[in-house]
Amino acid sequence: MNVLLIEDRLEDAILIEKQLGREADAAGIEVSVRRADTLGAGIEMASQDGIDCVLLDLGLPDGRGLNNLRRLHQVNPDLPVVILSGVDDERTAASAVRAGAHAYLVKRPMDQAEAVLPVLREAISAKAAPVREDTPSIRSEGRFRLDSECQITSWDDQCVALLKWTPEQVIGQPFQELAPARRQEELSSILRHASKLSGPVKVHLLLPGGKTRFMEIQPHGERGDDGGRTWAIADAEESRRAHQAMQVLGVIMSATRDAVISQDLDGQIHSCSRSTTEFVGREVESIAGTNFVDLFPPEDAGAAQTILGAIRRGRVLRDVDAQFKHASGRRVPVRMTLAPMRDELGGLIGACIIARPVYEDAGSGASWRRERTMLEERAHLLQEENGALRDELRALRRSGATG
């Protein structure tokens, strides 16, 4: 059995290889393990022949979460994959299986570790099992065919499910007429230049009743002898909503005065708002890529690790008081809210942290407020004294003029 282990932590990889070796000796079979320490290297190995199954970590330097599994399956969709993760989360495990993993195993100490070899053998057997002919095929893409004049000649059931138009309603009609009037010329140009398309094209198409839906279309196969061509169509509404959400997030990240930080389950910071620089005295570029624990003074590292543990369990934390370490050496009191981030399948992938400065409760902040109040009172008194002096000066001038 040839196993590809995609794991960036050397100590974990050594333990896994030792465990597999012991289990293989007990079962009387030969197991060969090849290791990749990045997702990119693992994908390259997975694209080659000779790999029977994959043990995949979800936290890698160049890939996080279930997207690692999807990227691996894009290269070799038939390769059985078993997730081996340090995150003990039932929702993530269920999401991984729904996404195509054979199983989800949790990294544990050697004396508590689950048997790995039987799971790998089961995964290989499951992939090798023949598919029953009566098993229905499930796909999210529809297929339609256009003739040389871009008129619809076929329209499958998935097209009906996506756009709600029946074959009787659309066959014989120019496909571009399914677009709103202002977009028909643009769609017609896309259809005419199909051979030049390098990937899916996003278009707006009409539903019965006049509403529109955001879709992706792309040619499927070459043009036939009759000049016609088959096209694939899929729903793109979710990707549009995700894009709009990212735009809104970008505005928030640039405009907010809070420190907004996104991080993975290991604490590695992936992004932060511009205002974060005011809290830690470093530029955004130097914060991204560092660890969440590094934001705290060294003596508070234990508290930071406790917060990380809660994040890995998917907990929401509110009003957490802490202190960030500023580059100048001073402490910056903050109050944090931490919320888990999940991928589209519900798998836990990290957390979003919002930190605000705390002036009322922190000693330095309270001192600043007291000083400001004293200065305001002093300024008010000076204004009153200045007014009194002006009145006296006017009185003296009047008396001098009369004398």
SS3 222: coil
Instruction: Summarize pLDDT for 379-393 with one digit per residue, the tens.
Output: 666 666 666 666 666
Residue showing tokens 């999401």? 95
- Cα separation, 126 vs 140, in Å, equals 24
In the chain the domains, ranked by start, together with CATH numbers, are: 2-128 (3.40.50.2300), 142-235 (3.30.450.20), 241-363 (3.30.450.20)
Res 7: pLDDT: 93
- Using a 10 angstrom Cβ sphere, with 0-12 exposed, 13-18 middle and 19 or more buried, the burial of residue 171 is middle
Res 399: pLDDT: 65
pLDDT above 50: residue 210: yes
Q: How confident is the model at residue 131 (pLDDT cuts 50, 70, 90)?
A: very low
- Using a 10 angstrom Cβ sphere, with 0-12 exposed, 13-18 middle and 19 or more buried, the burial of residue 129 is exposed
Res 89: pLDDT: 74
Measured in degrees and rounded to the nearest 5, phi and psi for residue 240 equal: -70, -40
Gyration radius from the chain CA atoms = 32
Res 367: pLDDT: 53
> Is 0.85 surpassed by the pTM of this model?
no
Element (H, E) at 2: strand 2-6
Written as one letter, the residue type at 231 is W
Please tell me which of 24-28, 180-184, 342-346, 370-374 the model is most confident about, judged by mean pLDDT.
180-184
Size of the chain, expressed as the number of residues it contains: 403
Average pLDDT over residues 360-366: 47
Element (H, E) at 400: helix 363-402
Higher pLDDT, 247 or 196: 196
- Cα separation, 64 vs 349, in Å, equals 7
Counting residues of the chain whose pLDDT is more than 70, the rounded percentage is 80
Contact between residue 106 and residue 92 where contact means Cβ atoms under 8 Å apart: no
Residue showing tokens 């051979």? 195
Instruction: Summarize pLDDT for 249-282 with one digit per residue, the tens.
Output: 677 777 788 999 998 888 889 888 888 999 999 9
Higher pLDDT, 337 or 138: 337
Q: How confident is the model at residue 374 (pLDDT cuts 50, 70, 90)?
A: low
pLDDT above 60: residue 365: no
- Calculate the average pLDDT of the chain: 82
For β-strands 63-64 and 59-60, DSSP reports them as: antiparallel
Written as one letter, the residue type at 221 is G
Instruction: Summarize pLDDT for 287-307 with one digit per residue, the tens.
Output: 988 899 999 999 998 888 988
Instruction: Summarize pLDDT for 144-188 with one digit per residue, the tens.
Output: 999 999 999 999 988 998 899 999 999 999 999 999 999 999 999
Instruction: Summarize pLDDT for 305-334 with one digit per residue, the tens.
Output: 988 888 888 888 888 999 999 999 999 999
Q: Which residues contact 171 (CB under 8 A, 6 or more apart)?
A: 152, 153, 154, 155
